[in-house]
Amino acid sequence: MLRWSKEIKFLESLGKSILIAWWGQETKNDDDIDEIGNLDQVGFITPSQFLEMGKSDPLPFWEKVKRLVARDRKKTRKPLPSPLPTKREAKSMTALID
């Protein structure tokens, strides 16, 4: 919703009046706009009504956790440093050097 809030504020700053098409899709299981039977099901709501919907139905806890984990996996990680040699490996290396 933060993304949509920013988009709405930007368009309003340009002097545009905004209405949002709404066809009742509240979950991913509901029909997308191209899957609804007819366009009579589409209504228009104000940006404040649209943004209020996101506040009234927050994501369940585990959905938030899944999104955070997915976002964290996308971050690049620094490679871990090489481990120190064990005593046995250190002895064999010194034997090769001598």
Residue 60, pLDDT score: 72
Within a domain: 84: no
pLDDT tens, the chain, 98 aa long: 788 899 999 999 999 999 999 888 877 788 888 888 888 888 999 999 988 887 766 667 777 778 888 887 777 777 778 888 778 777 776 666 65
Residue 81, pLDDT score: 80
User: Contacts from 40-49 at CB under 8 Å and sequence distance 24+?
Assistant: 44/19, 44/20, 45/19, 45/20, 46/18, 46/19, 46/20, 47/8, 47/12, 47/18, 47/20, 49/20
Residue 18, pLDDT score: 93
Within a domain: 21: yes
Within a domain: 94: no
What total of structural domains would you count in the chain?
A: 1
Whether the predicted model's global pTM rises above the 0.75 cut: no
Within a domain: 95: no
Question: What domain range includes position 48?
Answer: 1-26+39-66
